[in-house]
Copies of this chain bind each other. A is one copy, B any other.
Amino acid sequence: MSVATVADRQWMAAALKLAAQGMYSTSPNPRVGCILVKDGEAIGEGWHQKAGEPHAEVLALRAAGDNARGATAYVTLEPCSHYGRTPPCAEGLIKAGVSRVVAAVCDPNPDVAGRGFQMLREAGIEVVERCLEDQASAINEGFMKRMRTGLPLVRMKLAMSLDGRTAMASGQSQWITGPEARRDVQRLRAQSCAVITGADSVLIDNPSMTVRSEEAGLTIPADLQRQPLRVIVDGEHRVNASAKIFAQAGDILIASRVAPTTPVERDANSGNLTYWAGEKNDRTDLSGLLRHLAEQGHNEILVESGAQLAGAFVRAGLVDELIVYCAPTILGSDARPLLSLPIGDMAAQIRWRWQDVRMVGDDLRLTMRPELQSSPDKA
């Protein structure tokens, strides 16, 4: 088994930086970067921009031309072995005469899953696997989870006061957190394939739920900008076409308990409006909805909702990452709770582990992962 050298890891780190350029545009595909190196120099590089466009390896090979013969290819994900929208990259690397391939992570896509490496080895190419594997997995965590489990990665964003409140009893809430935190949320939205909100939020806060790249300070090339699918969980069909969310460009999915009898009418020029229905315990089936979103190719989901829906997601154990913006303010004991989530006994508390803690402007951003996959529902 070949092992990665220090130089291999340095080149792979550079390839991961390339891959990260696809942060806001590659889905349903993973973010991938590739660098071809010969005699210690990069002779071609590329990163996958979006579905239907060339894979990273193809772009790097194009840049290198005939010079690719005898080079080492650094790829952040196993080169594909199947004919999809493009021919298999493993084949491309073989034809170009690359002599060595260093890869970060095996492609969990059942159409690839090791066959890419196998093709390369059968062609006499030296293959090094698992070079900076953790970093490469992290950059495509949503894609990996979807391929392995049929569910997307679910992030939940919450904004609260120091005492865990989100609004006054009257509903008055704008703004608890500062402009930097709100810009940070734009970045989270931009890297998500879909954003889920609830009927309550649409009816009360009337948000647009779109990505405003400029406001967020994101420098995404115009042709790579996209709007995440906006999903409204509206169990009882309470929202109507007058909501601001329908006026903004971009696709919308309404998820409910049962299919609507009178669908919302929306100006077709603004984007597609589709429906999904599924019921569990007399409510919209949230895990069914997530499974549906994964089937549609959504890798990363952001939940931005009120206390009710957020509480339901947490209770069902469906949240992979909790991102809480905490403002240094006290809203008092009459103010609204962070989550609508009654828990009776200390033993049923829902524990997390800290992932990251940092200042974002005047607010503190707390990122957490579940301590265990158990949830009160299962208790």
Is A371 an interface residue when CB atoms closer than 8 A count as contact?
yes
* Contact A357–B364 (Cβ < 8 Å): yes
Chain B contacts for A357, CB-based, 8 A = 357, 359, 364
Q: Which residue on chain B has the smallest CB distance to residue A352? A: B328
What is the size category of the interface that chain A forms with chain B?
Answer: 35 or more
Binding stretch for chain B, among A101-109, A111-119, A164-172: A164-172
What is the oligomeric copy number? 2
Closest approach, in angstroms, between the C-beta of A179 and any C-beta of chain B? 16
Q: Which residue on chain B has the smallest CB distance to residue A368? A: B328
**Complex-state Cα separation, A204 to B344, whole angstroms:** 19
Contact of A331 among B162, B343, B366 (CB under 8 A): B343
The secondary structure that dominates the A interface is: loop
Is A351 an interface residue when CB atoms closer than 8 A count as contact?
yes
Is A339 an interface residue when CB atoms closer than 8 A count as contact?
yes
Contact of A342 among B311, B332, B350 (CB under 8 A): B332
Contact of A354 among B328, B342, B344 (CB under 8 A): B328
Closest approach, in angstroms, between the C-beta of A200 and any C-beta of chain B? 15
Knowing A162-B366, A359-B354, A371-B328, the reply to whether A342 touches B333 (Cβ < 8 A) is: yes
Contact of A333 among B173, B337, B353 (CB under 8 A): B337
Is A161 an interface residue when CB atoms closer than 8 A count as contact?
yes
* Contact B307–A333 (Cβ < 8 Å): yes
- Contact bitstring A325-347, B, C-beta under 8 A = 1, else 0: 00011111111011111111110
Q: List, sorted by A's number, 8 A–B pairs whose CB atoms are closer than 8 Å.
A: A161-B164, A161-B349, A328-B371, A329-B351, A330-B352, A332-B342, A332-B343, A333-B337
Taking beta carbons and an 8 Å cutoff, which residues of A are in contact with B? Answer: 160-165, 168-170, 172-173, 307, 311, 314, 324, 328-335, 337-346, 349-354, 357, 359, 362, 364, 366, 368, 371
Additional A-B contacts beyond A161-B164, A330-B352 (20; CB < 8 A) = A160-B164, A162-B338, A162-B352, A164-B165, A168-B343, A172-B346, A328-B352, A328-B368, A329-B350, A329-B352, A330-B349, A331-B343, A331-B346, A331-B349, A332-B342, A332-B349, A332-B350, A333-B338, A354-B364, A364-B366
Task: Report, nearest first, the 5 A-B pairs whose CB atoms are least far apart.
Answer: A164-B164, A332-B343, A333-B337, A328-B352, A330-B350
